[in-house]
A and B are shown apart, each in its own frame.
Chain A
Amino acid sequence: MANSDVGRPSNTPLIIISSLMLLFGVLVVSGALTPMFKSLHTHKQIDLMETMTFVGAILGFVTALLRQVRMNKPMGRFDVFVLETVPGILFIMVLAMGIRWFMEPVVVLMSKQLVPVLGFKLHKVLNLNYVVLGILVGIVITNSWGIPKFAASGVKTARFVLKMGVILLGARYSFAELAKLGMVSVWMIGFFVLGTVFFVLFLGNLFKQPKSMTGVLSAGMGVCGVSATVACAPVVRARCSEMAYTIGTILGFGILCMFAFPTIGKIVGMNPTQFGAWAGTGILNSAQVAAACLAFNAVDIKTLKVGEIFNITRVLFLPVIVLVLASWYGKQSGKKLSFKEVVIDKFPLFILGFLLLFLMSSFGLFSPSDHYKGKYLDFSYNQRTEITPEELTVLQNAETVGIPGLNADEKAAFEDLVKQHQIAGNFADRDNKTAFDTTARQRMAGLESILARAKGKEITIGAEVKSALKHAVRQVHKKSKTIVTLTDAMIWFFAYGLIGLGMQITRKSLAQAGGWPLVMGAISGITKASLSFIVVMYFVKDVVLK
């Protein structure tokens, strides 16, 4: 199919992608690929594969048809915002699916097979999960073949989709978490953002650099990387070379951090709260914070939750910093900026979406109202929270033989579990919710203590007993189907968004790094990352999430 005369890319790539998705969907439904999925451990996602591929294929074919009809006609809004973006959206979707269902499992398998040679799991050391692989694939595509013309419009949706991911993340916080994390993050971000901004301004003065350069660099290094540079450059009247050097420096430093932080975090044994706090404070770029948190732990989103709170707090500081820089620079230039120019235009609207989802979740729109107010446990007597009959037999045998080394609380908790088949309070207290929950929590703490001490090799329990105890503890954690669905969608949004954003990281922009911005950026960036590391390691020990 020939290109139209109004600049529309050909329909052929879209039809090829849609056909591939359809073919893949048919193969999945037929069961021909099931043995392969089992060997890759992705067979549990077969339902999702069917849904995503068929929906994608239908969307692709319908779009191709509409595009064909509209070929050689002037483009309207519907063409620009819908028809021309779908090919790129499907392109990234195919990449995301390929990475999640094939590339990541294959990398893990290969990494495990290389253990006898290397002596360690390569994918663990380099954090090669779907997030990191997605960004790498994006960077490789954009810097080798370039973004295909047919996908160019759709790739721009990555920014929007990433924001959607953060908005959906809002549904995963409780008031208690948000309040506690929020306070920690305000203090830490406040100190490090303002500290870095003033440190860079000090360095600029020390090295006798122009105010416009130190201004734009201080915002970039202090607040949120390129976004802050873009927001502040017009305010401090930065010169082109200063902007280019600053953006190049920030992007390069951010990419180094994105890969180094998760590895360092694992080496020193950070917990999710510590890593999220460190990444959210030390890494400049917000998308890279999300990537580093998911690289640290892509299965459990605790790290991402903490990192994003720090991230959002930092983003909220952006208008403040713009205001500070505007008044600092305005004194010299004599130019006054309006409140709208400085604050309203710079305010990231998606944070309102995040707060809206948080409030909707907190008021019980997605699950029972008391479920996301810090109460994550369901101790009520019901069949769902029971352990299996086989597990019960294992525990009864262990109780008969006895587990040496248990203290009184642990022993009582163990006996109650065998007696009730589940973690719960006393039946007699069932009308007194406070007493009932308190007893149940003590029992759960006892069982968790057994597991922790067994892990620390203080006591010895059999693998089957350990498995049964873990299951019992897991069973009282209540999950809302809506929240689970929102979380799955969020993970896909992040995967999609980060692939697309990887495609925005070009060699040409990185090559701009240089000059005094590189020197001052390196000094301030390393200082911030090191100091925040020390603060996190010494003062953020508490795991506030459950």
Chain B
Amino acid sequence: MFKRILLATHGTPGARKAEDLAADWARKTGAELAVVSIFNDDWKHMTGDDWLNTSTARMQFASYVEDQVNDEMDALEQRLREQFQGLNVRFLRRSGVVEDELCKAAEETGADIVVLGAYQKKQAPGFKARFENRQLHPQLPCPLLVAP
């Protein structure tokens, strides 16, 4: 049925449902599972109107955020490697506009389907800026599945 499934996750509660669903389908169909985590481009807005700091302090902050995100992605990857044992899995990391990078990853991996989590009703932990459907849908090269 599916040869390649692309799972987009940051490990948030909504994304964990997508992880379970994608793993389940990969096991059933024997599809290759690609997991993509995207360093959100919106982080560049997060120093806001900070104007007092020296460029050194700002650079330190940017570098620190990058390290932190990478650490979180490392932890996520480690957890998923254990969870997805027995599956043909590869991990991708991207940085940029979420919608654009997701579609690029889908094209590069030749994905038959993209799986991601639904918007959460309750305030979930983590960076809250998510993709926008209006930006994502027109670019998608394959069907999109939202895990309920």
Residues of A within 8 A of B (CB): 158-159, 162-163, 224-227, 230-231, 233-234, 239-241, 243-244, 247, 251, 285-288, 315, 318, 345-349, 497, 501-502, 504-506, 508-509, 511-512, 514-515
* Given A240-B127, A241-B125, A348-B49 contact (CB < 8 Å): no
Q: Is B50 a contact of A230 with CB atoms below 8 Å?
A: yes
Docked-complex contact B53 and A227, CB < 8 angstroms: yes
Given A226-B47, A241-B125, A504-B49, answer yes or no on A509-B57 (Cβ-Cβ < 8 Å). no
Q: Mark B36-49, 1 if CB is under 8 A from A, else 0.
A: 00000010011111
Determine the distance from Cα of A502 to Cα of B123 in the docked complex, in whole angstroms: 28
Q: B91: CB under 8 A from chain A? A: no
Complex CA distance for A147 and B19, rounded to whole angstroms: 36
Total number of residue pairs linking A and B with CB closer than 8 Å: 103
- Chain B residues with Cβ below 8 Å from A348 are 52-54
Provide the bound-state CA to CA distance between A433 and B48, in Å: 53
* Interface of B: prevailing SS: loop
CA distance A482 to B140 in the complex (A): 61
Shortest Cβ distance from residue A189 to the other chain B in the assembled complex, whole angstroms: 14
A244 contacts which chain B residues (CB < 8 A)?
46, 127-128
In the complex with contacts A234-B60, A509-B45, A226-B50 CB distance below 8 A: yes
- Chain B residue at minimum C-beta to C-beta distance from A230: B61
Given contacts A240-B68, A511-B129, contact A162 B51 (CB under 8 A): yes
Q: Is the CB of B58 within 8 A of A345?
A: no
A226 to B49 alpha-carbon distance, docked (Å)? 7
A508–B129 CB distance below 8 A: yes
Determine the residue in chain B with the shortest Cβ distance to A506.
Answer: B45
Q: Is the CB of B50 within 8 A of A509?
A: no
Contact of A512 among B51, B57, B128 (CB under 8 A): B128
- The residues of A that contact B125 with a CB separation of less than 8 Å are 241, 515
Q: In whole angstroms, what is the CA distance A502 to B48 when docked?
A: 9
Chain B 10-67 residues near chain A, CB threshold 8 A = 42, 45-54, 56-58, 60-61, 64-65
Neighbouring A residues of B123 by C-beta, 8 Å: 514-515
* Chain B residues with CB under 8 A of A345: 54, 56-57, 60
State which of B47, B48, B69 has its C-beta within 8 Å of the C-beta of A240. Answer: B69
B126 within 8 A of A: yes
Q: Which of B48, B52, B64 contacts A247 (CB 8 A)?
A: B48
A350 shortest CB reach to chain B, Å: 8
A512 pairs with B129, CB closer than 8 A: yes
Chain A residues near B107 (CB-CB < 8 A): none
Are A349's CB and B69's CB within 8 A?
no
B75-118 interface with A by 8 A CB criterion: none
- Chain A residues positioned under 8 Å from B57 (CB to CB): 230-231, 345-346
By beta carbon, the residue of chain B nearest A285 is B49
Interchain CB contact under 8 A, B50 and A227 = yes
| Residue among A233, A315, A349 with max Cβ neighbours from chain B (10 Å) | A233
Among all A-B residue pairs, the 4 with the closest Cβ atoms: A501-B49, A227-B52, A159-B51, A234-B64
Within 8 Å by CB of B126, from A241, A315, A511, lies: A241
B118-148 Cβ-contact flags toward A at 8 Å (1 or 0): 0000010111110000000000000000000
Is A509 a contact partner of B128 (Cβ separation < 8 A)? no
- B74 interface contact, C-beta 8 A: no
Query: With the chains together, A180 CA to B53 CA distance in Å?
Result: 27
- Which of A234, A347, A349, A505 sits near B49, CB closer than 8 Å? A505
Q: How far, in angstroms, from A458 to B40 measured CA to CA in the complex?
A: 66
Is there an interface contact between B54 and A346, defined as CB atoms closer than 8 Å? Answer: yes
Does A251 lie within 8 Å of B65, measured CB to CB? no
Task: Choose among B45, B49, B53 the residue that contacts A287 (Cβ–Cβ < 8 A).
Answer: B49
Are B128 and A315 in contact, with the CB atoms below 8 A?
no
- Nearest chain B CB to A175's CB is how many angstroms away? 25
- Shortest A136–chain B CB gap in Å is 14
Among candidates B42, B46, B53, residue contacting A346 with C-beta atoms closer than 8 Å: B53
What separation, in Å, do the CA atoms of A233 and B68 have in the docked complex?
Answer: 11
Q: Which residue of A lies closest to B67 (CB)?
A: A234
B51: which of A231, A239, A287, A508 is its contact (CB, 8 Å)?
Answer: A287
Please, which residues of chain B bring their CB within 8 A of the CB of A230? Answer: 47, 50, 53, 57-58, 61
Query: Are B48 and A504 neighbours in the complex by a CB distance under 8 Å?
Result: yes
A285 to B69, CA, bound (A): 26
Among A224, A288, A508: residue with most chain B CB under 10 A: A508
Please measure, in the bound complex, the distance between the C-alpha atom of A354 and the C-alpha atom of B42, giving whole angstroms: 34
Q: Choose among B54, B57, B65, B127 the residue with the greatest number of A CB atoms under 10 Å from its CB.
A: B57
Q: In the assembled complex, which residues on chain B have CB atoms less than 8 Å from the CB atom of A159?
A: 50-51
6 further contact pairs, Cβ within 8 A, besides A286-B51, A315-B52, A348-B52: A230-B57, A233-B64, A240-B65, A345-B56, A504-B45, A509-B48
**Complex: chain A residue closest to B72, CB-CB:** A240
In the bound complex, residues from chain B placing their C-beta under 8 Å from that of A224 are 52
Would you give 30 A-B contacts (Cβ < 8 Å), ordered by A? A159-B51, A163-B51, A226-B47, A226-B49, A226-B50, A227-B53, A233-B61, A234-B61, A239-B68, A239-B72, A241-B126, A244-B127, A285-B49, A286-B51, A318-B52, A346-B54, A347-B54, A348-B52, A348-B53, A501-B51, A504-B45, A505-B48, A505-B49, A506-B45, A506-B48, A509-B46, A511-B129, A512-B127, A512-B129, A514-B128
* Cβ–Cβ < 8 Å partners of A227 in chain B: 50-53
- How many angstroms between the C-alpha atoms of A285 and B51 in the bound complex? 10
B65 and A243 within 8 A (CB)? yes
What is the bound-complex CA distance between A292 and B52, given in angstroms? 17
The complex places the Cα of A358 from the Cα of B53 at a distance, in Å, of: 21
